Chain A
Amino acid sequence: MITGGPLLLPIPDEPTVAIEVRFRVGSSEDPAGREGLARIVARMIGAGGSKRRSYVELLDAWYPTGAVPVVAVDREWTCFRVRVPREHAGTAADLLAEMLVSPGFREEDLARHRTAALAAIRHRLRWADDEELGKAALWSLAFAGTGYRHPPTGTVAGLEAITRRDLLDFHERWYRFRAVSWGLAGSVPPGLVSRIERALSDLPAGPALVLSPAPGPALSEGVTAILVAKPEADASISIGRPLGLRRGETPFYGAALATSWLGEHRSSVGRLFEVLRERRGLNYGDYAYLEAFPGAGANQFPPPGVIRRSQLFEVWIRTLANPCALFAIRAALAEIDRLVERGIPGRDLETIRAFNERYRHHHEASAMDRLGHALDDLAFGLRTEGHLARLRRLARELPADEITEGARRAMRPDRLGIAIVTGTPERLASALARGEAEAPAYRTPKPPEVLEADRRYLERPLVVAEERISIVPVEEVFER
């Protein structure tokens, strides 16, 4: 946490200015029965009226700048971001400060945000985005009973219970000067820093923050599965394992390189993509992650501000036909087994090193991205060498056996969670309990080596004890 001052990243010739203000609070601090509160509070601030002006008046004031504050609430942090052309930076900074320091918390804004959040769960998450639903189900399984269980959007019951009083209490407790971390990037006009600093100093100082302890994963030894029963749905799959590594630690970077080999988000060159999509045409894509990646459907690169003290190593198998689901999971696990045991194959190691040295530059393509990653580094205490720079360096330097060791520590399939959104939950549950799976029925003939590999994949054991399989009707997901 910094309270000392802003982080400044001047970028000459950059025609825009990026402003980010973060608070050390997220949905994991939602009080029980008020799930969704942290996000509603943030939306009320970033997309609601201030004490002085209604939301309509603020929208009018923002309008000519072309900017709007973007509010991103994750499990542990809340970020307010503004990108604005240089010539409007002063106006934008004043408006943002007004919203942050003196939010209006009007009933009409609460009603609007509550309606939108309820629709996001009841209509969007449950019925229009099976892949996000699968990921959310995995986290609810892996962190059952903790503040990480529900997504920042909340639960239906939680959202319905939130009152204006809750907003005021939450705001008073968490939105304090000592909880703030902020910065500016781009062509920052003179005087802007002190202008924002003065405004933010109006936030109450308050006593020291007391965070809840880091949530521990609920996954025990073996495999646990959750099947979201959704009529007519094909299978959308997420697999996870608790990650005991953190940015900054060397084994984390070994694991990151190994994850990269399995398959970078939306990349068409990873091992999982090759095995499931390229050779077998089972689905549209298959990727691996070392840290949570919210909004994956809309983004190519992971957003900053997603700092969680507990993380999962995750595999995302995009939507495929239900009868192929258990085969695809076995294939992915067999590939992970081999990776953990033997490391990245020699022929691919140089490629992965070169790829990571270069590809990480894309994460910081804009002024806003650079600022976000720099603020992340501060939160992780990485002062001398940032996370992305470290990843680029270690991609070159890390010996092969340390990469394998990182993979082993991150991916060893000792405590697995599996989430499947599916239209055939009973069939999949009974096959999982019996340890069965069938080979895919291909549309076109496959070469012998593919069929041979299929047999090997099917031999990969995967049995889930009946009592560790839960089936949840889609209408009950995040109902409470």
Chain B
Amino acid sequence: MMRRPVPFSSTEVVLDNGLRVVVVPTAARGLVSLWTIVRVGSRDEAIEGRSGFAHFFEHMMFRGSERFPAAEYNRRMMLLGADVNAFTDTDLTAYYVTLLPRDLERALELEADRFMHLSYDEQAFRDEAGAVLGEYLKGLSDPWFTLEERLLGTAFRVHPYGHAVIGRRQDIEAMPSLYEASLDFYRRYYRPDNTVLLVSGDVDRTRSLEAVRRHFGVWQPGAAPYDVPAEPEQDAPRRVSTRFSGRSLPLLWIGCRMPAFGEHEDVAGALVLAEAGFGSTSPLYRRLVLDERRAITLSAHADLARDPRLFHVHASVRRPADVDAVVEAIERTFDALAEDVIDDERLAGTRSHMLAGLRLRLDTPTRFGMTLAPLLALAGGLEPVNDFWEQALRLPAERVRQAARRIFDPARRTVALLEGES
């Protein structure tokens, strides 16, 4: 039998409370990674003034419970020598703990406790808001962050995808007053029926499943997400430019509206297009970066998202005078990908590159989770993730072209420029 794209077999169950549990023993020895992936992110921040709330709440999850206050949680994780961290994205908030296999049960106990019994007072809440503002200010020193804010705000006018994950500055500054809202947020989203739990690495299937059941089985269901408004179709190209307070090269970020993950074929096509059209062996990269050297960097990626989001192309441009030529070359590439099918040899190379790249990103238990958490949050289990990847690796050239035709429609495009200097 052909090995599947993610070449490890999983054991998957849905507990009575709706928690999806995915256990994947991999070739890694000596470490296991436990991921609690909550299906909430900046996508869910539709209420006015709440941008950045999902990320802020990720910080609050480290404030402990009555049984294990923050200092005790930290002390115990330290005794376990655990690598503990979390991140928030548009569609998910993921928490992980990587540690020695013999300590998995103890980590499950600590994690289950905070997901069920998080407890903090208003003071702690206000303090944490200060740390998030610090993170925002640090982000401002990166010109790409400034550009991302402008791109998203221009591409989306209604949907919360219109703000960066960390949120808008005025909302972050007002966060200390939202203590009650945080309790409501916890009750609505931090529920087993809104969560996927992944255990990967050096792990015993049966024993770890039993342990998960023991600790997470009593978590009460009742997810009640707020509605997310749909973004109207975009029917004309948009363009925005901005400046940076420090010095930067001119930066370009182009966003093309693309379908939600549910429309698998177009999304699979987008993965192929990002590689074949903009990767290091693409004609465009060769021309802009290697031959003409008008761009110093060029890359693209496709969003795998619950609602229609974007296909992104980024370039840092060598000289301000080259910006128009770089935009034009990228737009011509969009047109070419929509008009002509990718030839067989190139498509075969792209598929091989994509598959090898995927497998290389699974090489430690932590990276396994890092790579697959977003897809697991969307698809719910490893089987559908593998199905999706197989689809991407088999998609006929003509079908890829059809995806390009839809995604690279000039009317659904937003070009954001950060004006810069050489």
* Chain A residues packing against B (C-beta within 8 Å): 11, 13-16, 55-56, 59-60, 63-68, 83-85, 88, 108, 111-112, 115-116, 119, 122-123, 126-130, 230-234, 266-269, 277-278, 281, 283-284, 300, 318-320, 351, 354-362, 365-368, 443-445
Which of A128, A277, A367 sits near B363, CB closer than 8 Å? A367
Query: Does A67 lie within 8 Å of B99, measured CB to CB?
Result: no
Q: Please, which residue of chain A has its CB at the minimum distance from the CB of B285?
A: A59
- 14 A-B pairs within 8 Å (CB atoms) are namely A56-B286, A60-B349, A63-B352, A85-B356, A112-B290, A119-B296, A119-B316, A127-B141, A128-B248, A268-B62, A318-B138, A358-B81, A358-B99, A444-B126
A126-B247, A268-B74, A281-B131 as given contacts; A85 in contact with B359, CB under 8 Å: yes
Q: Within 8 Å CB of B137, what residues of A? A: 234, 319
Q: Please, which residue of chain A has its CB at the minimum distance from the CB of B125?
A: A444
Quick check: is B344 within 8 A (CB to CB) of the other chain?
no
Q: Within 8 Å CB of A115, what residues of B? A: 293, 296, 318
Query: How far apart are the CA atoms of A362 and B83 in the complex, in Å?
Result: 8
Q: Within 8 Å CB of B82, what residues of A? A: 358-359
Query: How far apart are the CA atoms of A443 and B131 in the complex, in Å?
Result: 11
Q: Separation in Å of the A202 CB from the closest CB of chain B? A: 27
Q: Within 8 Å CB of B290, what residues of A? A: 55-56, 108, 112
Q: Separation in Å of the A318 CB from the closest CB of chain B? A: 8
Query: Does A269 lie within 8 Å of B280, measured CB to CB?
Result: no
Instruction: Select the residue from A127, A230, A267 with max chain B CB neighbours within 10 A.
Output: A127
Which of B134, B350, B420 sits near A283, CB closer than 8 Å? B134
Q: Which 4 A-B residue pairings sit nearest by Cβ, starting from the closest?
A: A66-B356, A358-B81, A359-B81, A127-B246
Q: Within 8 Å CB of A60, what residues of B? A: 281, 349
Which of B75, B289, B350, B354 sits near A269, CB closer than 8 Å? B75
Q: Within 8 Å CB of B232, what residues of A? A: none
Quick check: is B130 within 8 A (CB to CB) of the other chain?
yes
Which of A123, A319, A362 sits near B248, CB closer than 8 Å? A123
Query: How far apart are the CA atoms of A151 and B98 in the complex, in Å?
Result: 33
Query: Does A83 lie within 8 Å of B360, measured CB to CB?
Result: yes
Q: Within 8 Å CB of B126, what residues of A? A: 443-444
Q: Separation in Å of the A15 CB from the closest CB of chain B? A: 6
Q: What class of interface size applies to chain B in its complex with A? A: 35 or more
Q: Within 8 Å CB of B123, what residues of A? A: 444-445
Q: Please, which residue of chain A has its CB at the minimum distance from the CB of B275?
A: A63
Which of B28, B296, B349 sits near A365, CB closer than 8 Å? B28
Query: Does B353 lie within 8 Å of A64, measured CB to CB?
Result: yes
Quick check: is B365 within 8 A (CB to CB) of the other chain?
yes
Interface string of B12-35 (1 = CB under 8 A from A): 000000000000000111110000
Q: Within 8 Å CB of B29, what residues of A? A: 11
Quick check: is B364 within 8 A (CB to CB) of the other chain?
yes
Instruction: Select the residue from B83, B85, B247 with max chain A CB neighbours within 10 A.
Output: B83
Quick check: is B1 within 8 A (CB to CB) of the other chain?
no
Query: Does B357 lie within 8 Å of A66, measured CB to CB?
Result: yes
Interface string of B54-83 (1 = CB under 8 A from A): 000000001000000010001101111111
Q: Separation in Å of the A320 CB from the closest CB of chain B? A: 7
Q: Which of B102-151 contact A (CB under 8 A)?
A: 103, 123, 126-128, 130-131, 134-135, 137-138, 141-143
Query: Does A111 lie within 8 Å of B142, measured CB to CB?
Result: no
Query: Does A269 lie within 8 Å of B293, measured CB to CB?
Result: no
Q: Within 8 Å CB of A365, what residues of B? A: 28, 31, 98, 364-366
Q: Separation in Å of the A173 CB from the closest CB of chain B? A: 29
Q: Separation in Å of the A58 CB from the closest CB of chain B? A: 10
A63-B349, A85-B359, A351-B75 as given contacts; A357 in contact with B141, CB under 8 Å: no
Q: Within 8 Å CB of A233, what residues of B? A: 141
Q: Within 8 Å CB of A15, what residues of B? A: 7, 27, 359
Q: Within 8 Å CB of A277, what residues of B? A: 131
Query: How far apart are the CA atoms of A229 and B286 in the complex, in Å?
Result: 39
* Chain B residues packing against A (C-beta within 8 Å): 7, 27-31, 62, 70, 74-75, 77-85, 98-100, 103, 123, 126-128, 130-131, 134-135, 137-138, 141-143, 176, 244-249, 279-281, 286, 289-290, 293, 296, 316, 318, 348-350, 352-357, 359-360, 363-367, 420
Query: How far apart are the CA atoms of A129 and B356 in the complex, in Å?
Result: 32
Query: Does B100 lie within 8 Å of A361, measured CB to CB?
Result: yes
Q: Within 8 Å CB of B143, what residues of A? A: 127-128
Q: Separation in Å of the B351 CB from the closest CB of chain A? A: 9
A130-B141, A351-B75, A354-B81 as given contacts; A284 in contact with B360, CB under 8 Å: no
Query: Does B363 lie within 8 Å of A366, measured CB to CB?
Result: yes
Q: Within 8 Å CB of A63, what residues of B? A: 279-281, 349-350, 352-353
Query: How far apart are the CA atoms of A119 and B363 in the complex, in Å?
Result: 32
Q: Within 8 Å CB of B350, what residues of A? A: 63
Q: Separation in Å of the B20 CB from the closest CB of chain A? A: 26
Q: Separation in Å of the B315 CB from the closest CB of chain A? A: 13
Q: Within 8 Å CB of B363, what residues of A? A: 16, 83, 366-368
Q: Separation in Å of the A110 CB from the closest CB of chain B? A: 11
Query: Does A64 lie within 8 Å of B79, measured CB to CB?
Result: no
Q: Separation in Å of the A136 CB from the closest CB of chain B? A: 15
Q: Within 8 Å CB of B79, what residues of A? A: 351, 354-355
Instruction: Select the residue from A112, A230, A356 with max chain B CB neighbours within 10 A.
Output: A112
Query: How far apart are the CA atoms of A68 and B360 in the complex, in Å?
Result: 11
Q: Within 8 Å CB of A318, what residues of B? A: 138
Query: Does A119 lie within 8 Å of B249, measured CB to CB?
Result: yes
Q: Please, which residue of chain A has its CB at the minimum distance from the CB of B352?
A: A64
Query: How far apart are the CA atoms of A251 and B131 in the complex, in Å?
Result: 36
Query: Does B359 lie within 8 Å of A361, measured CB to CB?
Result: no
Q: Please, which residue of chain B has its CB at the minimum distance from the CB of A68?
A: B280
Query: How far apart are the CA atoms of A122 and B143 in the complex, in Å?
Result: 13
Query: Does A16 lie within 8 Å of B359, measured CB to CB?
Result: yes
Q: Within 8 Å CB of B75, what residues of A? A: 269, 351
Q: Separation in Å of the B289 CB from the closest CB of chain A? A: 8
Query: How far apart are the CA atoms of A246 and B30 in the complex, in Å?
Result: 28
Query: Does A84 lie within 8 Å of B356, measured CB to CB?
Result: yes
A16-B359, A127-B246 as given contacts; A362 in contact with B353, CB under 8 Å: no
Query: How far apart are the CA atoms of A284 and B136 in the complex, in Å?
Result: 10
Query: Does B127 lie within 8 Å of A67, measured CB to CB?
Result: no
Q: Please, which residue of chain A has its CB at the minimum distance from the CB of B29?
A: A11
Q: Within 8 Å CB of A445, what residues of B? A: 123
Which of A59, A122, A123, A300 sits near B83, CB closer than 8 Å? A300
Query: How far apart are the CA atoms of A55 and B285 in the complex, in Å?
Result: 12
Query: Does A361 lie within 8 Å of B30, measured CB to CB?
Result: yes
Q: Separation in Å of the A6 CB from the closest CB of chain B? A: 21
Query: How far apart are the CA atoms of A283 and B128 in the complex, in Å?
Result: 10
Query: How far apart are the CA atoms of A351 and B356 in the complex, in Å?
Result: 40
Query: How far apart are the CA atoms of A231 and B286 in the complex, in Å?
Result: 38
Q: Please, which residue of chain B has its CB at the minimum distance from the CB of A57?
A: B281
Query: How far apart are the CA atoms of A129 and B364 in the complex, in Å?
Result: 28
Q: Within 8 Å CB of B84, what residues of A? A: 268
A66-B359, A358-B80, A444-B127 as given contacts; A366 in contact with B364, CB under 8 Å: yes
Which of A128, A358, A443 sits near B141, CB closer than 8 Å? A128
A122-B247, A354-B81, A362-B98 as given contacts; A16 in contact with B281, CB under 8 Å: no
Q: Please, which residue of chain A has its CB at the minimum distance from the CB of B290?
A: A56
Query: How far apart are the CA atoms of A108 and B292 in the complex, in Å?
Result: 10
Query: How far apart are the CA atoms of A320 and B131 in the complex, in Å?
Result: 10
Q: Within 8 Å CB of A355, what residues of B? A: 78-79, 81
Q: Please, which residue of chain A has its CB at the minimum distance from the CB of B137?
A: A234
Q: Separation in Å of the B271 CB from the closest CB of chain A? A: 14
Q: Within 8 Å CB of B100, what residues of A? A: 358, 361
A13-B27, A66-B356, A115-B296 as given contacts; A351 in contact with B248, CB under 8 Å: no
Q: Separation in Å of the B279 CB from the closest CB of chain A? A: 8
Query: How far apart are the CA atoms of A354 and B103 in the complex, in Å?
Result: 12
Query: Does A359 lie within 8 Å of B83, measured CB to CB?
Result: yes
Q: Separation in Å of the A477 CB from the closest CB of chain B? A: 12
Q: Within 8 Å CB of A64, what residues of B? A: 348-349, 352-353, 356
Q: Within 8 Å CB of B247, what residues of A? A: 122-123, 126-127
Query: How far apart are the CA atoms of A127 and B280 in the complex, in Å?
Result: 27
Which of B31, B127, B138, B248 sits near A127, CB closer than 8 Å? B248
